[in-house]
Structure 1
């Protein structure tokens, strides 16, 4: 949902910028007294500036409000399955790779060597979750799979010549 909103907002803003450039280009051939234009613009610029700032603030709040902010998506009473994930050039080490639908999981992601990007994808290659795998630091990803299937873990940060083979599969069963 957030990706769709960002895509549509980007298209709208690109069209507005293109229209403004086209308008300025078309008007640049006209000769008009500078002082009259300057006075009229100064009157309007405060209104347009404040309107633009308010609009951008509203759009920012709207697009960021659905982010999970690294919150667990299970209740405090449930005991999550803790999965230790270690990245190393050029592979992933998982303490467990098979899960059940509805099982709350905490991926504890770290690295043995360099920075890696932990990207979790569904079968249609839509990204579900991501974080950084960094040496001497553990990031936690909370997830509860809602559909059975085979999920892929790909490295999202270039880590060397064999970066493209740094994949892992997770199986989720009923």
Structure 2
């Protein structure tokens, strides 16, 4: 719903910009002395810009209210999993969990930047972050259904990037 609102807002503003260009194009054939013309265009431009900022600010605020995933946060009794990316594999300190168990994946890299994306069995993304050398990004996950999840690299990291994956098993 919010993406549709953002799409329509974008179309309206693009139409406004096209309208300004068409207006300038139509009136460009009229010759007037530059110094004698009162420039109303500057005022219109200023109000258009301010209106654009206000509307896009409101649209951004509304569309970011309901993100399609749970807010990440630390929980008590969570399992800490070290997740290290390297060309061309993931090393997880643990890869078997139970449904409802809070987990924090501490994601880092041994060599270059990698992506760390966890996908369910329908290949829908569950969580993701960057894996960077000498830096640890925490990813908080609580699996809600059993199954086999895949960890895939989301950042092109070299010639065997496509084989870089790990498996996570979640049971009842």
TM-score by length of 1: 0.78
TM-score by length of 2: 0.79
8 A contact 1:73–1:144 mirrored in 2: no
| Aligned with 2:159 (options 152, 158, 161) | 161
What is residue 90 of structure 1 aligned with on the other side?
88
Please show how residues 68-83 of structure 1 align to structure 2 within 5 Å: 71-72=72-73, 74=75, 78-83=76-81
Q: 1:44 to 1:79 in 2, by over 3 A?
A: same
TM-fit CA distance, 1:92 = 0.7
| Aligned with 2:142 (options 131, 141, 144) | 144
SS at match of 2:111: coil
SS at match of 1:62: helix
CA distance, structure 2, for counterparts of residue 92 and residue 126 of structure 1: 19
1:53 lines up with 2:50 in the alignment: no
Q: 1:91 to 1:172 in 2, by over 3 A?
A: same
Task: For structure 2, list consecutive stretches of 5 or more residues without a partner in the other structure.
Answer: none
CA RMSD of superposed structures (Å): 3.1
What is residue 17 of structure 1 aligned with on the other side?
14
TM-fit CA distance, 1:163 = 0.3
Task: For structure 1, list consecutive stretches of 5 or more residues without a partner in the other structure.
Answer: none
TM-fit CA distance, 1:149 = 1.7
SS at match of 2:84: strand
